[in-house]
Amino acid sequence: MDSCCENKAGELAQLRARQSRILYIVLAINALMFVVEFAAGLIAGSTALLGDSLDMFGDASVYAVTLFVLHRSVRARAGAALFKGGFMLLFGLVVVADAVRKLILQEVPAADWMGVVGLIALAANGICFYLLFSHRSDDLNMRSTWLCSRNDLIANTSVIIAAVLVALTGSLWPDIAVGLAIAALFLHSAGQVLREAWHEWTRNPQPEMVAEPAECCAAPATEPGAACCAPASAAGATCAGAKPVLVNLCEPGQSPAAPTEIKSCCGSKDGNDATN
């Protein structure tokens, strides 16, 4: 039973460590590219570049949130995904507003700035996409992070295409069209992330936590079904880092000195049968 807990805890700890390293790298890349693209967007007068810079800033923000909840509960990770989805929704609306402003002012962006910075951003996001690809199925939080990276590649490619078209036509319409297309993409992705995150949030109504046995019976003894998150074995194995198992330690009327036997190890139905 103890080896079950140790093996699963070790595997999960290694996974979280790998995720942390990847997220720190992509966080640094996106933070740097936000500064570069925002400055270039102002100089070039490009809706597409400004939108892409806001995307970089949004990604850097949500990567930071992802790192914050990486070692926390499923519900906390679902909450982070809800935050990301909301930010993606806001980003899409900001791009739409900027496109409308450019239409009113009839500003034609500088195609050379758009093209050069778009290529740099594409290379940067290509690195992020490569790093995140193998973690896209780890959990909902990493999946939503990978979706952000995938959208970035599409947006960068669109900016480069818009730069070529602006240079050929001398019109602002390619820049406007790309800006609106990016907005539509992020609004769609925001809806997808929000739906999945809300489903995960409602499936886990109570935050997961690990409590010491002495704290488990803090609820009134007369309260039916008083439950808490207990160590995974009666011997005191805590399954550190593994998903905790909710068990009922306090039957109605039972005192803290007489907890019921704990029969689970890292999610198995019976600690005596745990073999993984």
Mean pLDDT of 95-100: 83
pLDDT (0 to 100) of residue 166 = 93
Does residue 253 sit in the same domain as residue 149? Answer: no
Query: Could you give the count of Cα atoms lying within 13 Å of 227 in the half-sphere of its Cβ?
Result: 12
In the chain the beta strands, taken as DSSP E runs, fall at 228-229, 246-247
- What pLDDT sits at residue 106? 86
Domain end marker among 180, 203, 226: 203
Give me the mean pLDDT over the 205-215 stretch. 46
**Would you place residue 35 in the very low, low, confident or very high pLDDT band (cuts 50, 70, 90)?**
very high
| Structural domain containing residue 224 | 209-270
CB of 163 closer than 8 Å to CB of 114:
yes
Asked which of 3-12, 78-87, 223-232 is least confident by mean pLDDT, the reply is: 223-232
Number of domains comprising the chain: 2
pLDDT by residue (tens digit) across 152-192?
888 889 899 999 999 999 999 999 888 888 778 778 877 87
8 within domain boundaries: yes
Residue 14 has a pLDDT of 59
Residue 234 has pLDDT above 60, yes or no: no
The string of pLDDT tens digits covering residues 38-59 is 899 888 888 888 878 877 887 7
Same domain? For 189 and 238 the reply is: no
Please report the DSSP string for 210-253 in residue order: ---HHHHT-S-TTSTT--EE--SSTT----TTSPP-EE----TT
pLDDT band for position 121 (cuts 50, 70, 90): very high
Q: Report if pTM > 0.85.
A: no
Burial of 232 (0-12, 13-18, 19+ CB in 10 A): buried
Residue 242 in this model has a pLDDT that exceeds 60: no
**pLDDT exceeds cutoff 50 at 267:** no
* Pair (89, 108) in one structural domain: yes
Q: Do 263 and 165 lie in a common domain? A: no
Residues of the chain with pLDDT > 70, as a percent, come to 63
Same domain, 137 and 255: no
Contact, 48 vs 162, CB < 8 A? yes
- Residue 271 scores a pLDDT above 80: no
**Where residue 127 falls among pLDDT bands split at 50, 70, 90?**
very high
Q: Look at 3 and 31; give whichever has higher pLDDT.
A: 31
In the predicted model, what is the mean pLDDT of residues 214-234?
A: 40
Q: Which of 172, 203, 234 is the last residue of a domain?
A: 203
Q: What is the CATH number of the domain that holds 119?
A: 1.20.1510.10
15-29, 67-81, 243-257, range with greatest mean pLDDT: 15-29
The pLDDT tens digits for 64-96 are: 776 776 666 777 777 777 877 787 788 778 878
Spatial distance between the Cα atoms of 69 and 192, rounded to a whole number of angstroms? 20
Residue 228 backbone dihedrals phi, psi, to 5 degrees: -155, 175
Please indicate, yes or no, whether residues 142 and 259 belong to a single structural domain of this protein: no
Q: Is residue 261 over pLDDT 70?
A: no
